[in-house]
């Protein structure tokens, strides 16, 4: 069984899960400080419902892809890669936004959560619902991005979902270490390392998304003579040639095949391909220079307070 397909979702869920665990830990610490631990039930209820909602969204997306792909069996080989490509684009947008915007907002996380909890506690009759909604939104927000990533790779089967569960379990363990046992972890460095990995994973998703659209166009071109001209390179079209991605810029199949170790690890985590085409190479580099550049500027522009906010809550 090839567990390499579980690695990207493990990294994504670990990163997202730790962020959600920080919110949960801050809320529990604030409730304890305010002598309102009776509301802890609403925190755990928000976690449970948030996980259920995230799983439901994932199942719904997978079901939608299969239904749309089976409406017209003749075009299943076209519809499925198009949908994978669309979900890949959505995942790229959401994960990129989360990386940049949330990194900038991380320094205000503790203050924002404190404000939300304080506001909830002032509404005594609805305090529980206020805490519940805060946790629910935090869990679903982090879960939705993982769901999009899994949906974009639904043909890989159950393993990406298992990777997500593994990342979630690891994130929960880190949350317990931080808030229950008081273990000191450099959260700032953790998020920076996870952020760099995520930039590379999403850059690889750009390569995969372009490949999905190329596959869909190629399948459509091969399905009827009237669609032949959709492929820019149709007259040279073979399994090793691109349809719309331009000429091949490298072929490392004999040196580092992407279906064998260690190439398969690089493929799963960073979008490595032993056959890479011009448009994919340009898209990969453009993403690294734009989104990657913005991310690196965001983490070097100031400190993330997560490093100091966790110990201060425990006092």
Cut 0.85: pTM above it: no
| Residues 63, 7: Cα–Cα separation, whole Å | 23
pLDDT above 50: residue 306? no
Q: How confident is the model at residue 310 (pLDDT cuts 50, 70, 90)?
A: very low
In this prediction, residue 273 carries a pLDDT of 84
In this prediction, residue 39 carries a pLDDT of 85
How does the average pLDDT of the chain come out, rounded?
79
List, for residues 223-246, the tens digit of each pLDDT value: 766 556 677 654 444 445 678 888
Burial state string for 167-178 with b = 16 or more CB within 10 A and e = fewer than 16: bbebbbebbeeb
List, for residues 170-222, the tens digit of each pLDDT value: 988 988 888 777 677 777 788 888 888 889 889 988 998 998 898 888 888 77
pLDDT above 50: residue 152? yes
271 vs 173, residue with greater confidence: 173
């Amino acid at each position: 069984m090839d567990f390499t397909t579980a690695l990207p979702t493990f990294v994504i869920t670990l990163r997202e899960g730790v962020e959600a665990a920080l919110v949960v830990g801050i809320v529990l610490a604030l409730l304890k400080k305010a002598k309102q631990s009776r509301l802890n039930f609403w925190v755990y209820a928000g976690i449970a419902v948030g996980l259920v909602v995230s799983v439901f969204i994932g199942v719904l997306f997978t079901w939608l892809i299969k239904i749309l792909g089976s409406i017209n069996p003749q075009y299943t080989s076209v519809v499925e890669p198009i949908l994978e490509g669309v979900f890949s684009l959505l995942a790229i947008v959401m994960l990129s936004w989360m990386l940049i915007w949330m990194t900038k907002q991380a320094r205000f996380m503790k203050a924002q959560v404190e404000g939300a909890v304080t506001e909830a506690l002032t509404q005594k009759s609805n305090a529980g619902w206020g805490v519940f909604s805060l946790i629910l939104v935090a869990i679903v927000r982090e879960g939705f991005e993982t769901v999009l990533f899994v949906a974009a790779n639904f043909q890989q089967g159950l393993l990406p979902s298992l990777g997500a569960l593994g990342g979630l379990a690891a994130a929960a363990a880190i949350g317990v270490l931080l808030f229950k046992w008081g273990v000191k972890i450099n959260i700032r460095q953790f998020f920076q390392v996870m952020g760099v990995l995520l930039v590379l994973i999403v850059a690889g998703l750009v390569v995969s998304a372009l490949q999905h659209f190329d596959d869909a166009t190629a399948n459509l071109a091969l399905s009827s003579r009237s669609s032949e001209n959709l492929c820019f390179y149709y007259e040279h079209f073979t399994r090793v040639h691109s349809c719309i991605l331009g000429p091949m810029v490298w072929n490392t199949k004999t040196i580092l095949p992407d279906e064998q170790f260690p190439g398969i690890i690089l493929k799963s985590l960073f979008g490595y391909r032993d056959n890479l085409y011009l448009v994919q190479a340009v898209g990969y580099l453009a993403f690294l220079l734009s989104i990657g550049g913005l991310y690196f500027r965001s983490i070097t522009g100031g400190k993330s307070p997560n490093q100091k906010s966790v110990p201060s809550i425990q006092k």
